Amino acid sequence: MKRTLRKQKSAYALSLIFCLIGIVSLILTIWKTYPQLSSSGDPFSTFLSLLWTEKLANISGFEFKLIYLVILGDVMLVSGVILWILSRQWLVLPGETAWFQCPFCKKKWRSIGDKALVHCPHCRQLVHPKMTENKRAVST
């Protein structure tokens, strides 16, 4: 369970980073092309042609065209969303929930998996909780 949770958390963080890169790339694209688009009679075809002609950088002969930025942005955004959905699924995939009983205060609580040593949520004692089959609500 712990490993699943960590995987879920890091996937969630990664999905946010991917979405952020994607959004920034697309905003950058619009920001780069906006001056030409606003002065053009046909913004859409101007945008499409700009994608292939506008160069953001020229690194030792390699031309980084605007279209690459758009593709990168799309890929990042899509994989970010997919990762986000996956991380949500991992979140709702906990182990078996069971009722535990504290040997000190006799109170019960519901938790996941079989725990060897936990802090009782009621009396804060470090206990070896007794797993109980009682599925009824927590007695007060």
Interface residues with Zn ion (CB under 5 A)?
A: 102, 104-105, 120, 122-123
Inter-residue contact 32 to 56 (CB < 8 Å): yes
Shortest Cβ 140–Zn ion spacing (Å): 13
Q: DSSP alpha helices (H): ranges in 65-120?
A: 66-91
Shortest Cβ 102–Zn ion spacing (Å): 3
Inter-residue contact 43 to 37 (CB < 8 Å): yes
Q: Name the residue nearer to Zn ion (CB basis): 18 or 108.
A: 108
Shortest Cβ 31–Zn ion spacing (Å): 58
Parallel, antiparallel, or unpaired for β 126-127 and 62-65? Answer: unpaired
Parallel, antiparallel, or unpaired for β 126-127 and 118-119? Answer: antiparallel
